[in-house]
Chains A and B, each alone.
Chain A
Amino acid sequence: MSDNDFRLKGSVVTTVVLEVKTPNLEQIKLGLKEKIAQVPQFFNQAPLIIDINQCSEPVSLDLFQTLVAGCRELGLAVIGWRTSEGEIPSWRFDCELPLLPNANSRQINIKSETPAPAKDPHVVIKTVVEEREVSQPTKLITKPVRSGQQVYAPGDLVVVSQVSAGAEVLAEGNIHIYGALRGRALAGVKGDTSARIFCKNMEAELVAIAGNFMLSDALQKIIWKDAAQVLLVDEALEIASL
């Protein structure tokens, strides 16, 4: 076996969670269809977790399997299910789907164009960004990053010094520079559009967030030789004072 054969990595995947509130299968299917029709690209083969925790009645294996089949019919990719720890059903190992832990999660409710119906919903859909399983520690650099050097951080990057002209710092998360930024700084290099760059003294050759970049000539017209932060607002870079 060599190191080239495989690699194990932690990963974060955005999933859709279907919270079942009543065992009313027909209503659930109708409601789902409606939701899917609003944003079909989003739901096409979307990974789905079925959560029976809040169902008003115990869910039988039969009902569960019919629900899974129904979801698959609608083009959803069921990857597992959840329930509360105290109420794990006896058919747990017969359903052939993994029982997933109830992770702490940030929830984003999907906005729907049409107002929600007043009556009790049969189904609530949320996308859930799982908490990072492998949290990337912040990388700390205490010496100047010199011309010709490059620093890469898989999480956030903190430089308690300067970044020289001709040097490059990259991070999958945010970049904090407690000195002058004279070189290139690229945050959110794996696509995190919420990443930001902070620096005590903006004199950069280039700043970029999730691939959106700005060069020094443009920066000079906004903030130069002063404290600044760089963020992405509606896919456009914004340079703001700190």
Chain B
Amino acid sequence: MAKIIVVTSGKGGVGKTTSSAAIGTGLALKGHKTVIIDFDVGLRNLDLIMGCERRVVYDFVNVINKEATLSQALIKDKRTKDLFLLPASQTRDKDALTTEGVEAVLNELSKDFEYIVCDSPAGIEKGAQMALYFADVAIVTTNPEVSSVRDSDRILGILQSKSRRAEQGLPPIEEHLLVTRYNPDRVSEGEMLSVADVEEILAIPLLGVIPESEAVLKASNQGTPVILDGQAEAGQAYSDAVDRLLGEERPLRFTDVQKKGFFKRLLGG
């Protein structure tokens, strides 16, 4: 049986798709056969971030509607072994996903994969609820600002009350906090919440802190998940998060204000 992981947040633009691509890739790099599903029907961009947009023929909705088989729609990643992508439809809307249809696809994928990573659309409505409904694990992606934290809190409430596990009285979804776009300088200026603030408000265990980084933008423009950039702090932070997700212990990095050296200042690093 595969473990179903939802990357969710409530708010849009916080880094769910970036994180889904990075964490899915990270799990595959560790030798776990992984598929990432784009639940953002109508706004698909996971395939862009993964750099395989030109290879999309069939999508998630085609499979649900039995217009294509799963093996026709799955895209095998060219760089990373054991990594697959199930893209979203560009032309349909979120109502195209039915609970029964999603369940059937997840059941079929479960036979073949160790991890199923679900990239959730923004919001707390149907699309986001569909992405989290069958989850075993939730990675709650949060930016260190009040509105993002509030939306994450709402999503946590939905995980507790409207998921399959909640409705069937099963053990609750395992919750993890992923703080993204963290900027220690702005935290020390008091312009952003600190990791401690976010942890205190949400009261769930911390999986990782991903620094705000130019490397993320560069990586997504190139269609390479940032975790493959071993030089970038954001890439290293995602690797740490994946290790923690697999039960290893990693000290927290990149959360303190760095004293900039002469060259760094010169180069604007």
- Contact partner of A166 (CB less than 8 A), chosen from B154, B158, B160, B200, is B154
A149-B157 in contact (CB<8A): yes
Q: Among the interface residues B150, B157, B200, which one has the most CB atoms of the partner chain A within 10 A?
A: B157
B57 at interface, CB cutoff 8 A: no
A-contacting residues, B129-175, CB 8 Å: 150, 153-154, 156-158, 160-161
Min distance, Cβ B179 to any Cβ of chain A, angstroms: 17
Query: Could you say which interface size class chain B belongs to?
Result: 10 to 19
B201 at interface, CB cutoff 8 A: yes
Which of A86-94, A113-121, A125-133, A139-147 contacts its partner? A139-147
A144-B150 in contact (CB<8A): no
B201-A149 in contact (CB<8A): no
Residues of chain B within 8 A (CB-CB) of A143 are 160
Which secondary structure characterizes the binding site on chain A?
loop
Docked CA distance A165–B147 (Å): 11
B105 at interface, CB cutoff 8 A: no
Residues of B within 8 A of A (CB): 124, 150, 153-154, 156-158, 160-161, 200-201, 203
Query: Can you offer 19 A-B residue contacts whose CB atoms are under 8 A?
Result: A144-B156, A145-B157, A146-B153, A146-B154, A146-B156, A146-B157, A147-B150, A147-B153, A148-B124, A148-B154, A149-B157, A149-B161, A164-B157, A164-B201, A165-B153, A165-B201, A166-B150, A179-B203, A182-B201
Given contacts A148-B158, A165-B150, A165-B153, 18 further A-B contacts (CB under 8 A): A144-B156, A146-B153, A146-B154, A146-B156, A146-B160, A147-B150, A147-B153, A147-B154, A148-B153, A148-B157, A162-B203, A164-B153, A164-B201, A166-B150, A166-B153, A167-B157, A179-B203, A182-B201
